[in-house]
Structure 1
Amino acid sequence: MSDLPPPPPPPPPGGGRGSRRPNKSARPAPKSKFEPEGSSNHGGGSGETKTGFPKWGWWIIAGVAVAALLVPSFWPSDDGTDLTYTEFISQVDEGNVGSVEVDKGSGNITGEYTNGDTFNTTGGGEAGLFEGDQAFLEESGVSITYDAPSNNALLNLLGFMLPVFLIIGFLVWMQRRAAGQMGGVMSIGKSKAKAYTTDKPSTTFDDIAGYEGVKQEISEVVDFLRYPERFKEIGARVPKGMLLVGPPGTGKTLLARAVAGEAGVGFLSVTGSDFMEMFVGVGASRVRDLFQQARRMGRAIIFIDEIDSIGRKRGAGLGGGHDEREQTLNQMLAEMDGFEASEGIVIMAATNRPDILDPALLRPGRFDRQIVVPLPEADERRAILEVHSRDKRMGADVDMETMAKATVGMAGADLANLVNEAALVAVRRGSKEIERIDFENARDRVVLGAQRESVIMTAEEKKATAYHEGGHALLATVLPNGDPLHKVTILPRGMALGVTWSLPQERHTYSKEYFEDTICKAMGGRVAEIVVFGHLNSGAANDLEQATGIARRMVREWGMSDRVGPQAWSSQQQTFLGDDLMSSGREYSDDTAKLLDEEIAKLLTDQEQRAKRTLTRHRRGLELIAESLLEHETIDGPTVARLIQQGMIESGEDAETLDDIILR
């Protein structure tokens, strides 16, 4: 409902009434510009081309044999004249027929005239001649011979051998299929790493906007792979492993590929899940094969994405030391200790959960260095937006500087998605170029969710939503330590019936006053309904959940309670890591638990009372904001401030500027 940040990291810019707004995350990874090697041999060798009689040749031979056996039976025996049986009897009666040959099998009659010409006719009856016609032919002096159908030895043999051939073919097919399956089983221990070409790597540091500090920190790896003799001369040792740590979508994988592109060496890419199979020992075998491939390539970079899937703390599960994941991790640790830095092999890995990695994986000599890839700053966001806008037709009113300031907390993947969404909005709008309004609509869609035009609210629900969002908007405007209000709407978006959106500022630390104002603003919708209607509904559920979460962390983790003092108590016990699995899961006494609960409740109650006093004082301003929302459905921050000033003037208070209404 309100803009409630779960700090740190910087808070999400929107919230909604009536339901939880789904968390926004950046999933798409940067697309690789490398081309896979043409050879399937990961070791770089050339495969041999198998030669021999093609399989389809046997089908051709079989077809020719069948045609040779069957087709001749359909060919005519001669080119004689075709007669009907009646015409044949007439010719016999006239004395023109000298001899005939009757085929008892088909009933066909082949004859010869007295002048030597031949003819063909279809006989009658089962024997080829009707009863009485044979005597008539003999009386007429026609020589009659009968041809009994002879058995075709080849056809008989084929009919006998066909079932045998089918059985033999089925057995051969089963044998080949079993051999293929056995081949797949025998190769299950091979690494699934994808190898990329080294002759023309196209991804470099120039393709990555921003992150100058990160690129500077990993540039020494590039220098080592390019000029290893410089490091050998002075005796320097380059880190064997580099761990890229950062939120999803910040470009960790792209940075690793850029290192390979700058160094011009082989690049083996694999994910942590590629090592895991249902068979025990497969992961360790694939780790060994991966490092063997890297050694055959000479100088190479091994990149393991999402290493946390195999690098969790050992002893965490219930499988003991024989757990498949632990064996894979043990083999990786051994391989990383098994080669020297002079071999020219560097391991890079990426994760967004470094806290769950095994300490042995992070010690010096393995992953010596952790490089943080944070969310981009304003200048970096502007550069990223410009990179993703290169191949798009942009309007003259698009200001990337303004868009960069309005996208605080977005990662590189989020910004790429924002530019693409703006292009889609422009196409739906029928425009031939992307304009500022398209970026605004795309940002609203990405941050707040798509507008749900199918939702039809009753007049009472719409009025309650207007006052609810008006309470959030009023407090976001008058409270001095929160983020500035951007816009407020009662149009259903995403899972919410209304949204109040504040633009988060560039912050790296948060004060106690900031959190108190955030909690107070979260209570604004609930308190506004109490002040105006005198009753509550379920629309404040998400607001209370976010406010309680912030208050709990203030008291338990950040030491912002005078009674609790400078103590930090973790709010979650990650028992799946194996830490204190058999313990009660709580590190403090019952008295401390009671004190924590009291402080959390007091913090929430105090801010609710503060919100009630503020909204009561600005009751007229709240009414004007609600009326404007019912009329226009969406209003911006400056309009809300003007309405608050107007309400104070109507109430008899002096409010010439916005600063006069800010509570200090």
Structure 2
Amino acid sequence: MQPQSPPPPPPPPGRESKGGARGASARLGGLPRWSLWVLVGVLLLGFVLAGFFPSEPREDLTYSEFRTAVLDGQVQDIEIDNNNGDIDGELEDGTLFTTTGPVDGGIPDEDLRILRDQGVEVSYVTPSPSFIAAILPYIIVFGLFIGFFIWMQRRAQGQMSGVMNIGKSKAKPYDTERPGTTFDDVAGYEGVKQEITEVVDFLRHPEKFAEIGARIPKGVLLVGPPGTGKTLIARAVAGEAGVPFLSVTGSDFMEMFVGVGASRVRDLFQTAKKMGKAIIFVDEIDSIGRKRGAGLGGGHDEREQTLNQMLSEMDGFEATEGIVMMAATNRPDILDPALLRPGRFDRQVVVPLPESEERLAILKVHCKSKRLAADVDLNTVAKGTPGMSGADLANLVNEAALYAVRAGDDEIHNRHFDMARDRVLMGQRRESMALSDQEKEVIAYHEAGHAVCAAVLPHADPVHKVTILPTGMALGVTQQLPEERHIYRQDYIEDSLVVRMGGRIAEEVVYGVYSTGANNDLTGATDLATKMVREWGMSERVGPQAWSGGNQVFLGESMMASKEYSDDTARVIDEEVERILREQQQRCRDTLHENRNGLDLVARALLERETIDGAEVSRLIELGRGTAEELPERESVTTD
């Protein structure tokens, strides 16, 4: 019988439901609190405006019409306003009227005489403003003054509440009532799922482990390259176990105030303990879990205090309490050793880049909501994307969908996946870049040199596509599709060096001079040859010795470390790197001389069509070998 799930966690302190006291104070009778102030304002405005509108309707007359009515004996009495000269009166038939008389100097004496002769009763009034109109300016000023102080008080309270809550954890809780992520949502990675199934079993059936005396690891560290789905796997563990999930990133602990990180760590673990069973997930833990005291001048004091508090909290609870801590990083080499010792993060689960079958499963997940054409073979796409992570594959599918929309198609075709793969691997094509004919020919022979070496050498990766169109940061690209490999033999690495040098040597064979286009090729070849000698033991003179790459993570760490080898050994390493590069350069030169006709054919095809595929490269090389005597003489543009 499965144990009952723990009750949902109580709301955090200071937060109550809408039906509580806070909700009753925030709303009155189902209306917002500010509606009362709006009602008061409307009533006040009604009282003010009432004094400016006449209580009885009156007929508007011009002064000339009023004077004519007086001469005709139709006016009974009038009332003259001393402030603005307005005249209100009543006609003999009872009609009320109003008109505007002269303000400066009052009514002319002649008009007054006419009024007396006609027997019109004349009275003068000086109206005083109403009480509300009189005090309205004072009310407005006083109201603005009070409102300003209320706003300042609320702002201060908000800042104080923010300061008081600054030590609270920023973890996002995902309880069991929300739709959870399970292992079915994680495509592939069956080995990883199997390895962390123990955590799920412990959270579901802790009594089985308690009976036999077994302890589940307190911490599980997910290690893998970016984009492999470490966060998704952690959520799937919580979804399978049916327990609350607290997610936080390493940077959420850091703040400008001293001691805030440690306070947030304490609050995080206290929140987890209140939930009973829970999973605490810290993403990018390397931001706070770096080695203490490493680098020039020591470590960051606030970061170290946060790490010390986390280590203390992990020692403060037992594994039988039902709290499991999970973390993710792609740099386990920079983590503090205290984090990785038994009793803390004592289990590391490697989440590698997906294999071909796993890539196929990931592609199927991302293509569920996409409309695919009949010519799309996801198995072929999966085999043609080695080294891509789950995030890369999701981006690939989205790019293919975008290309389909741009082309006006209602389905995603295979050509759209090819275009998306080229976009992801090689970069965006630069249509606006204009090259001269001379530069195009140099680039064509450069890329043809890479392509010929890759197609001829037995251990090199096959050629997929060659183009002389400016793409990404390169003026031309030779794209190879590497096969699925987990170890690299020396003959494969040596052929890779030959392929890297193919562009530079092709320029030497054809033109007799070099260009700057081989800068990136030489950098990669030198780095590869250095690793052969210093790290992989592929040099007879150096022998079976290996040293690290020498790239220290922290500034100043190399100053504190002792020298790994003597100056004589460093000289031997440099000589061996130079020897390997020169030997592979000569191999490349011999290869291109043997396939000179194929080199010319590939270069001409690139100049004519700008882009050719790997099958066309192989066909042109075979054509060059079989019909060498029938090829016309090569015409080239000189570089002078």
| TM-score in terms of structure 2 length | 0.91
Render the CA deviation track for 1:557-595: whole Å, top value 9, x for unaligned: 111111112222223242627645445x74322222221
The residue aligned with 2:594 is 617
Q: Secondary structure at the match of 1:640?
A: helix
**C-alpha deviation, 1:408, in angstroms:** 0.9
Render the CA deviation track for 1:596-626: whole Å, top value 9, x for unaligned: 1111111111111111112112212211221
Q: Find out whether 1:164 has 2:142 as its counterpart.
A: yes
Note closer, same or farther for the CA distance 1:266–1:539 as it changes in structure 2 (3 Å cut): same
The residue aligned with 2:44 is 65
State how far apart, in whole Å, the 2-side matches of 1:470 and 1:117 are.
106
Comparing both chains, which one has the higher relative contact order based on Cα–Cα distances under 8 Å and sequence gaps of 6 or more?
Answer: 1
The residue aligned with 2:442 is 464
Q: Secondary structure at the match of 2:612?
A: strand
**C-alpha deviation, 1:398, in angstroms:** 1.6
The residue aligned with 2:213 is 235
Aligned length: 615
Q: Secondary structure at the match of 1:500?
A: strand
Conservation of the 8 A alpha-carbon contact between 1:102 and 1:128: no
Conservation of the 8 A alpha-carbon contact between 1:85 and 1:124: no
The residue aligned with 2:23 is 50
1:646 corresponds, among 614, 623, 626, to 623
Alignment of 1:315-464 (within 5 A): 315-316=293-294, 323-464=301-442
* Letter in structure 2 aligned against 1:58: W
Render the CA deviation track for 1:285-314: whole Å, top value 9, x for unaligned: 111111111111111111111111101011
State how far apart, in whole Å, the 2-side matches of 1:38 and 1:79 are.
68
The residue aligned with 1:258 is 236
Alignment of 1:203-602 (within 5 A): 203-316=181-294, 323-574=301-552, 576=554, 579=557, 581-582=559-560, 586-602=563-579
**C-alpha deviation, 1:556, in angstroms:** 1.3
Note closer, same or farther for the CA distance 1:620–1:72 as it changes in structure 2 (3 Å cut): same
Note closer, same or farther for the CA distance 1:514–1:596 as it changes in structure 2 (3 Å cut): same
The residue aligned with 1:145 is 123
Conservation of the 8 A alpha-carbon contact between 2:47 and 2:132: no
Q: Secondary structure at the match of 2:245?
A: strand
**C-alpha deviation, 1:454, in angstroms:** 1.9
The residue aligned with 1:11 is none
Conservation of the 8 A alpha-carbon contact between 1:375 and 1:409: yes
1:632 corresponds, among 573, 584, 609, to 609
Deviates most, 197-206 or 376-385? 197-206
Ranges in structure 2 where 5+ consecutive residues have no aligned partner: 1-7, 631-640
Render the CA deviation track for 1:364-409: whole Å, top value 9, x for unaligned: 1111100001111111111111121122122222222221111111
**C-alpha deviation, 1:100, in angstroms:** 2.5
**C-alpha deviation, 1:111, in angstroms:** 2.9
* Letter in structure 2 aligned against 1:350: A
Render the CA deviation track for 1:339-370: whole Å, top value 9, x for unaligned: 11121111111111001101110011111100
The residue aligned with 1:106 is 84
Conservation of the 8 A alpha-carbon contact between 1:512 and 1:560: yes
Conservation of the 8 A alpha-carbon contact between 2:86 and 2:101: yes
Q: Secondary structure at the match of 1:268?
A: strand
Render the CA deviation track for 1:97-145: whole Å, top value 9, x for unaligned: 4433222123222334556654433323436522232233234433322
State how far apart, in whole Å, the 2-side matches of 1:184 and 1:50 are.
21
The residue aligned with 2:3 is none
Note closer, same or farther for the CA distance 1:638–1:137 as it changes in structure 2 (3 Å cut): closer
Conservation of the 8 A alpha-carbon contact between 2:429 and 2:470: yes
* Letter in structure 2 aligned against 1:445: R
Note closer, same or farther for the CA distance 1:159–1:241 as it changes in structure 2 (3 Å cut): same
Alignment of 1:177-216 (within 5 A): 177-216=155-194
C-alpha RMSD of matched pairs (Å):
2.4
Conservation of the 8 A alpha-carbon contact between 2:467 and 2:610: yes
State how far apart, in whole Å, the 1-side matches of 2:149 and 2:447 are.
74
Conservation of the 8 A alpha-carbon contact between 1:301 and 1:347: yes
Note closer, same or farther for the CA distance 1:76–1:196 as it changes in structure 2 (3 Å cut): same
Deviates most, 469-478 or 55-64? 55-64
Note closer, same or farther for the CA distance 1:93–1:260 as it changes in structure 2 (3 Å cut): same
State how far apart, in whole Å, the 1-side matches of 2:607 and 2:499 are.
21
Conservation of the 8 A alpha-carbon contact between 1:44 and 1:297: no
* Letter in structure 1 aligned against 2:606: L
* Letter in structure 1 aligned against 2:512: G
Note closer, same or farther for the CA distance 1:211–1:88 as it changes in structure 2 (3 Å cut): closer
**C-alpha deviation, 1:526, in angstroms:** 0.6
* Letter in structure 2 aligned against 1:154: I
The residue aligned with 1:121 is 99
Note closer, same or farther for the CA distance 1:444–1:86 as it changes in structure 2 (3 Å cut): closer
* Letter in structure 2 aligned against 1:622: L
The residue aligned with 2:636 is none
Q: Secondary structure at the match of 2:346?
A: strand
**C-alpha deviation, 1:164, in angstroms:** 2.9
Q: Secondary structure at the match of 2:522?
A: helix
**C-alpha deviation, 1:447, in angstroms:** 0.9
* Letter in structure 2 aligned against 1:101: E
Conservation of the 8 A alpha-carbon contact between 2:183 and 2:193: yes
Note closer, same or farther for the CA distance 1:317–1:525 as it changes in structure 2 (3 Å cut): closer
**C-alpha deviation, 1:186, in angstroms:** 1.2
Conservation of the 8 A alpha-carbon contact between 2:296 and 2:555: no
Render the CA deviation track for 1:471-510: whole Å, top value 9, x for unaligned: 1111112212221222222222211111112211111111
Conservation of the 8 A alpha-carbon contact between 2:215 and 2:319: yes
State how far apart, in whole Å, the 1-side matches of 2:375 and 2:459 are.
32
| TM-score in terms of structure 1 length | 0.88
Note closer, same or farther for the CA distance 1:262–1:479 as it changes in structure 2 (3 Å cut): same
Q: Secondary structure at the match of 1:371?
A: strand
Conservation of the 8 A alpha-carbon contact between 2:228 and 2:390: yes
State how far apart, in whole Å, the 2-side matches of 1:580 and 1:467 are.
43
Conservation of the 8 A alpha-carbon contact between 1:312 and 1:356: yes
Conservation of the 8 A alpha-carbon contact between 1:44 and 1:296: no
Conservation of the 8 A alpha-carbon contact between 2:450 and 2:499: yes
**C-alpha deviation, 1:68, in angstroms:** 0.5
State how far apart, in whole Å, the 2-side matches of 1:44 and 1:291 are.
19
Note closer, same or farther for the CA distance 1:121–1:617 as it changes in structure 2 (3 Å cut): closer
Conservation of the 8 A alpha-carbon contact between 2:229 and 2:390: yes
Q: Percent identity?
A: 61
* Letter in structure 1 aligned against 2:82: K
